[in-house]
Amino acid sequence: MSDTSHEGLHVPGYVRDHDTHPSLDFPFYKSTCLRHPKRPLTLLPHMLTEITAPVLGEDRLGALDHDLTRQHEEEPQGQRIIVHGQVRDSDGAPVPHTLVEIWQANAGGRYRHTGDNWPAPLDPNFTGVGRVITDERGHYRFVTIRPGAYPWKNHQNAWRPAHIHFSLFGRAFTQRLVTQMYFPDDPLFFQDPMWQSVPDEKARERMLARFDYDATEPEWALAYRWDIVLRGREQTPFESEEEVLEDDE
């Protein structure tokens, strides 16, 4: 071991995954114009603050946060669905005990939000907000209704494909991810800047849930599976050095 490894505190960082993500500057999505930094980003080496994150537990959850169809007196309008999957890192390791938060429009494509007032009805029985913690194998599961598409003003006759907003913490600050889950065979992708902001076609498909017949519940709900992959660890030179030493012994 070198002296510097005694003096300083080396920790394994996380793999950088720039190729996956949209650029902050994406003119087709008009609101990016005044909201993207114009100077190049400064490289931040991963140190203790970046490889840790809040450990959030079951105390963040309400009793019915996993089931968006049971949060009111009656059931919401729309098609009841199960949305489930596994959260893993890019090495394939499950990400257990991590908070997953979702929010979405109702079956008619309207959010329960003061800023959303397009002429589609609100549903008194649907809030559109859910939270779960992944289990020890990184699995999550929600019951909800299939959200509707909705119009917005980005371009002439703009419509968002049906989607569910997801927010994940992972186990490190570097793994924090906010994203959207889409449904297979949606006809609206061709004109959606959010979908198209992801440069790689294959990466776009990773935002797509798949219909999961095996997970459907007969006479009750259709199911979709969506697996989410967060960044994995990279080896530091220090770690490899240690491994070499171990191998030698």
Partner 1 sequence: MSTHPTTPSQTVGPYLHIGLPWPDGPFAVAEGTPGAVWLRGAVYDGAGAPVTDALVETWQADPQGRFDHPDDPRGAKGTPGFRGFGRCPTDATGSYAILTLKPGPVPGPTGEQAPHVDVSVFARGMLHRVVTRLYFPEEEIANAQDPVLNSIEDPRARATLIAHREEGGYRLDIHLQGEDETVFFDV
Residues 104-163 that bind partner 1 (CB under 8 A): 105, 111-113, 115-116, 127-129
Instruction: Report the half-sphere exposure of 25 (CA within 13 A, side-chain side).
Output: 5
Q: Please select the residue that binds partner 1; options are 71, 76, 82, 88, rule is CB under 8 A.
A: 88
Interface with partner 1 in residues 178-237 (CB under 8 A): 178-180, 194, 197-198, 202-204, 206-207, 228-232, 234-235
Q: How far is the CB of 38 from partner 1 (least distance, A)?
A: 6
- Report whether 223 contacts 85 (CB < 8 A): no
The three-point CA angle 96-97-98 to 5° equals 95
φ/ψ (deg, to 5) at 202 = -65, -40
For partner 1, give the closer residue by CB, 114 or 157.
114
Nearest to 21 by CA among 160, 178, 163: 178
Nearest CB to partner 1, comparing residues 77 and 167: 167
Shortest Å distance, C-beta 184 to partner 1: 16
User: One symbol per residue from 1 to 20: x for binding partner 1 (CB under 8 A), - otherwise; what is it?
Assistant: ---x--xxxxx---xxxx-x
Query: Is the Cα dihedral 132, 134, 136, 141 positive or negative?
Result: positive
Nearest C-alpha neighbor of 31 from the set 189, 154, 213, 151: 154
- 41, 157, 185, 218: which one binds partner 1 (CB under 8 A): 41
203 vs 222, which CB is nearer to partner 1? 203
Which of 1, 6, 39, 249 contacts partner 1 by CB under 8 A? 39
Which residues touch 189 (CB under 8 Å, ≥6 apart)? 161, 182, 195, 196, 204
Token code pair at residue 53: 């994150």
**What is the total residue count of the chain?**
249
**Closest approach of partner 1 to the CB of residue 219, in Å:** 30
For residues 48 and 12, the answer to whether their CB atoms sit within 8 Å is no
119 residue type, one letter: P
C-alpha 94/C-alpha 137 separation (Å) is: 6
Q: Any idea which residues carry the catalytic annotation? A: 111, 150, 160, 163, 165
Which of 1, 2, 3, 38 forms a contact with partner 1 (CB under 8 A)? 38
Shorter beta-carbon distance to partner 1: residue 92 or 218: 92
Q: How far is the CB of 37 from partner 1 (least distance, A)?
A: 5
Q: Is 59 or 185 the residue whose CB approaches partner 1 more closely?
A: 59
Shortest distance in whole angstroms from residue 12 CB to partner 1: 8
Q: Is 103 in the site for partner 1 (CB under 8 A)?
A: yes
